[in-house]
């Protein structure tokens, strides 16, 4: 039975998940990096251990229900509790109009982004509900949940579904003392954005539309995750926290 809080972060091997894992560990928590990418996952575990933190890797494909159940049970069997779930695993789609989009790719984008969030909430919510009135779930959606796209239909729709699902989960888990909130990052500097932002003019065009005039760092998205996972946010549930440098305020 782990004495520290157990923080399970899907997609913890890279970008926002990695920054979040490092911050939780620096705050003295036990971090579980749940990622499909084993080498990235172990890299973050080693980074955290080198800084005298406490972390482990567990393999998962969040889109696969059996994989998620096995991951949740493995972590719970080892520690006896899971206190915080951060649903951060996600993938982008290739640029395509809705009418041209490959259906298999459409379904994979939904499976990792939305279905993965749903499955992890279901499995880990069940574990949290057996604990005594505690638990916080933070779903990483996107500012893309709030508006349409000329070329990224499936991604925007899946992030919109996470936004809406978060509110249903918040209502349904409230009586168990489990809070569920979503974070909506704007453009953030991570491996995720390297390909789309390396197209000619793509980075400049996006930055020109951000009132703060720059991309977010992964750490700037991780900070509000820590807030939503701690007692300072004890009355916050079903909320959507936009962290976008002012993009949606326009
Ligand atoms: P990232 O650097 O690509 O990290 C995502 C991690 O999730 C990677 O380690 C990835 O592994 C893993 N992953 C992918 N599919 C998975 C699966 N099926 N099961 C488990 N793990 C899986 O991306 P990021 O920028 O940190 O993004 C994190 C989240 O923030 C995503 O949900 C994204 O949609 C959201 N977000 C990002 C931005 C942004 O501008 N970066 C903006 C808004 C929202 P691989 O490396 O092997 O794919």
Residue 143's nearest CA partner among 214, 237, 240 is 240
Percentage of residues in the chain having pLDDT higher than 90: 96
Contact status, residue 41 vs residue 15, Cβ threshold 8 Å: no
| Token pair in block for residue 245 | 């440098």
Q: Which spans in 174-216 are helix H?
A: 194-197, 202-207
Cβ of 89 closer than 6 Å to ligand 1, yes or no, is yes
Measured from the CB, is residue 182 less than 6 Å from ligand 1?
Answer: no
89 contacts 36 by C-beta, under 8 angstroms: yes
Q: How confident is the model at residue 132 (pLDDT cuts 50, 70, 90)?
A: confident
pLDDT of residue 204: 96
Q: Radius of gyration over alpha carbons of the chain, in Å?
A: 17
For the chain, the average pLDDT equals: 97
pLDDT in tens, 179-188: 999 999 999 9
Whether 1 shows a pLDDT value over 70: the answer reads no
Distance 109 CA to ligand 1 centre (A): 11
| Residue whose C-alpha is closest to residue 52's, from 81, 82, 27, 75 | 27
**How distant, in Å, are the alpha carbons of 40, 42, 43, 125 from that of 118?**
23, 25, 27, 10
Q: Which of 57, 114, 118, 155 is catalytic?
A: 155
Best mutation site among 10, 12, 15 for ligand 1 pocket (most ligand atoms within 8 Å of CB): 15
186 C-alpha vs ligand 1 centroid, how far in Å? 14
- Torsion over CA: 238, 244, 248, 249 (sign): positive
Task: Confirm or reject: Cβ of 63 under 6 Å from ligand 1.
Answer: yes
Backbone φ and ψ of 56, nearest 5°: -145, 160
Tokens of 224: 């509000």
195: confidence class by pLDDT, cuts 50, 70, 90: confident
- How far away, in angstroms, is 112 Cα from ligand 1 center? 9
- State yes or no: is 42 an active-site residue: no
Model pLDDT for residues 13-61, shown as the tens digit of each residue = 999 999 999 999 999 999 999 999 999 999 999 999 999 999 999 999 9
- Nearest-CA residue for atom 3 of ligand 1: 192
Q: Structure pTM?
A: 0.98
Alpha-carbon distance 61 to 88, whole Å? Answer: 12
């Amino acid at each position: 039975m782990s004495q520290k809080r157990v923080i399970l972060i899907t997609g913890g091997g890279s970008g926002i998940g990695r920054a979040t894992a490092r911050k939780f560990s620096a705050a003295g928590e036990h971090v579980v990096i749940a990622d499909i990418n084993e080498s990235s996952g172990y890299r973050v575990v080693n980074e955290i251990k080198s800084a005298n933190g406490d972390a482990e890797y567990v393999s998962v494909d969040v889109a696969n229900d059996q994989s998620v159940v096995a991951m949740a049970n493995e972590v719970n069997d080892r520690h006896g509790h899971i206190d915080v779930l951060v649903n951060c695993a996600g993938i982008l789609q290739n640029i395509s109009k809705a009418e041209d989009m490959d259906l298999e790719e459409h379904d994979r984008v939904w499976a990792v982004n939305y279905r993965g969030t749903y499955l992890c909430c279901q499995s880990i919510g069940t574990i949290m509900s057996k604990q005594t009135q505690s638990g916080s779930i933070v779903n990483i959606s996107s500012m893309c949940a709030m508006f349409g796209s000329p070329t990224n239909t499936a991604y925007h729709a899946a992030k919109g579904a996470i936004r809406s699902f978060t509110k249903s989960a918040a209502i349904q888990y409230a009586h168990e003392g489990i809070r569920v909130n979503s974070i909506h990052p704007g453009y953030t500097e991570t491996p995720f954005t390297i390909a789309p932002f390396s197209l000619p003019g793509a980075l400049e065009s996006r930055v020109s539309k951000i009132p703060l005039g720059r991309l977010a760092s992964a750490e700037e998205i991780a900070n509000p995750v820590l807030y939503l996972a701690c007692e300072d946010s004890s009355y916050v549930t079903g909320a959507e926290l936009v962290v976008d440098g002012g993009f949606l305020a326009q």
